[in-house]
Amino acid sequence: MPALLEICGLTAGLQSRRAITPVVSNVDLDVQPGEILGVVGESGCGKSTLAAAIMRLLVTPQVLQSGSATLRIDDDKAYDLLNLSENDLRQLRWRHLSYIPQGSMNSLNPVLRVERQMTDALLQRGLSKKEASDRAIAALELVSLEARLLDSYPHELSGGMRQRVIIAAAVSMHPTLIVADEITTALDVVTQRQILQELAAIRDELGATIIIITHDMGVVAQIADRVAVMYAGEIVEVGSVSDIFQQPLHPYSQGLIASIPRESGQRVEGLPGEAPSPWNYPAGCRFHPRCPKVFGRCREHAPASQPQGPDRWVACHLYDQETASDD
């Protein structure tokens, strides 16, 4: 099956007076129709930049440098999101392409009622007032919220309710693809779990494809089908959830899994050190200063992403084929 979204060589960075510092470098990633793909990595590794770049919602000083992101919908139509005109892109938004940005607590306009904010985009797409409000109510139901909430202002809602309203708004047009950035981060554990369940149910009911972005391996374990592990602006490993959790290949993936808090409470050996900021991404393998398995060539040569069996990719010199290596 062709990928629903095919990201190729996506590079985005921060513009300063003189130069652009890449934050996300050369990302290649496929998203299959109907799946939930988790993008996971420590805070600051460029996940939100990647998401906003795909959505074409980078704000200064963030800039897109290169790459393509091809969205295939309705069988034969393919759109390169990164090179589409602003106007054409606007036609895709909400109908085919929904975004739940990080910081959803503040994603609702404080001075407009929920109803207005849930229906304005629908009305602009030609729905009647009745249809729009029916859709809004149906969407609220998907996240266990009552229709009467439409009359509220955002400040009258709890954090969990606001997050649900945002999700409801984002799915109200039954979009093809939903990009959800850290949707559970600011919430208590119980609400987190409920919202993830609701999101999974939405995928099943609406047949949507979801990219869920999180720093939390636990979220990935609960909801995702496949995982892309991100470190310092690069995708370092891709695989199914079961593969990655049972047998992580990349030392960074191994570290992330090892530092998931256990039921017993004690944190087992986590990741030592800190993730680098875009201004000092190390040369060679960007993970090498923190890698327990670092060796000679890691310090000079960046490892390329290599297939490791069906639907499994890893970028680490440990898995270089000896014949292919030239040192």
Partner 1 sequence: MTANSDATAGNSAADGQAAGRREVFQYALRRFGVYLFTLWAAITVAFFIFRLVPGDPMNILLGNLTRAEGRQRDAAAEEAIIARYRQIFGMDEPLPLQYVNYLRKAVLGGLDLGPSFVEYPAQTKDLVFRRMPWTLGIFTTSVLLAWLVGTGLGALIGWLQRSRLSQLAVVISTLLQITPVYLVALGLIIYIGYTWRILPAGGPYARHLQPEWTWEFISSLLTHAILPMLSNMIVIGAGFTLGMRALMISVLGEDYLTFARAKGLSPFTVLKDYAFRNALIPQVTALAIIVGATLNGTFIIEVLFQLPGLGTLFVQAMGLRDFNTMQAVVLFSIFAVLTLTLIVDLALPLLDPRIRRTA
Ligand X SMILES: Nc1ncnc2c1ncn2[C@@H]1O[C@H](COP(=O)(O)OP(=O)(O)O)[C@@H](O)[C@H]1O
Q: Are 177 and 97 in contact (CB under 8 A)?
A: yes
> Looking at beta carbons only, is 74 or 327 nearer to partner 1?
74
Closest CA to 133 of 117, 157, 145, 154: 117
Q: Is 43 in the site for ligand X (CB under 6 A)?
A: yes
* Helix 129-142, helix 114-124: angle, nearest 10: 120
Q: Is 251 in the site for ligand SF4 (CB under 6 A)?
A: yes
Which one of residues 17, 74, 85, 110 is an interface residue with partner 1 (CB under 8 A)?
110
- Strand segments, DSSP code E, in 183-258 are 209-214, 226-231, 234-240
46 binds, among ligand X, partner 1, Mg ion, none (CB under 5 to 8 A by kind): ligand X
Q: Which segment (28-36, 42-50, 153-161, 198-206) binds ligand X by CB under 6 A? A: 42-50
What sections of 56-188 are H helices per DSSP?
Answer: 86-92, 114-124, 129-142, 159-171
> Looking at beta carbons only, is 83 or 259 nearer to ligand SF4?
259
> 101: number of CA atoms within 13 Å, CB side?
14
Closest CA to 292 of 310, 315, 318, 326: 318
253 binds, among ligand X, Mg ion, ligand SF4, none (CB under 5 to 8 A by kind): none
Rounded Cα gap, residues 125 and 95, in angstroms:
9
Q: In this chain, which residue has its C-beta nearest to ligand X?
A: 48
**DSSP state letter for 262:** P
49 binds, among partner 1, ligand SF4, ligand X, none (CB under 5 to 8 A by kind): ligand X
> 257: number of CA atoms within 13 Å, CB side?
18
Backbone angles phi, psi at 21, to 5 degrees: -95, 115
Q: Is 318 in the site for ligand SF4 (CB under 6 A)?
A: yes
Which one of residues 46, 101, 154, 239 is an interface residue with ligand X (CB under 6 A)?
46
Which one of residues 48, 185, 253, 254 is an interface residue with Mg ion (CB under 5 A)?
48
> Looking at beta carbons only, is 21 or 144 nearer to Mg ion?
21
* CA angle (125, 126, 132) in 5-degree steps: 85
Q: Is 303 in the site for ligand SF4 (CB under 6 A)?
A: yes
> Looking at beta carbons only, is 105 or 127 nearer to ligand X?
105
Which one of residues 44, 218, 284, 289 is an interface residue with ligand X (CB under 6 A)?
44
Among residue numbers 182 through 241, which ones bind ligand X (CB under 6 A)? none
Instruction: Provide the 10 A C-beta neighbour count for residue 108.
Output: 21
> Looking at beta carbons only, is 122 or 178 nearer to ligand X?
178
Q: What is the closest distance, in whole angstroms, from the C-beta atom of residue 45 to ligand X in the complex?
A: 4
Which residues are near ligand SF4 by CB under 6 A?
250-251, 285, 287-288, 291, 293-294, 298, 303, 316-318
Question: In the complex, which residues of this chain contact ligand X (CB under 6 A)?
Answer: 14, 23, 41, 43-49, 61-62, 277-278
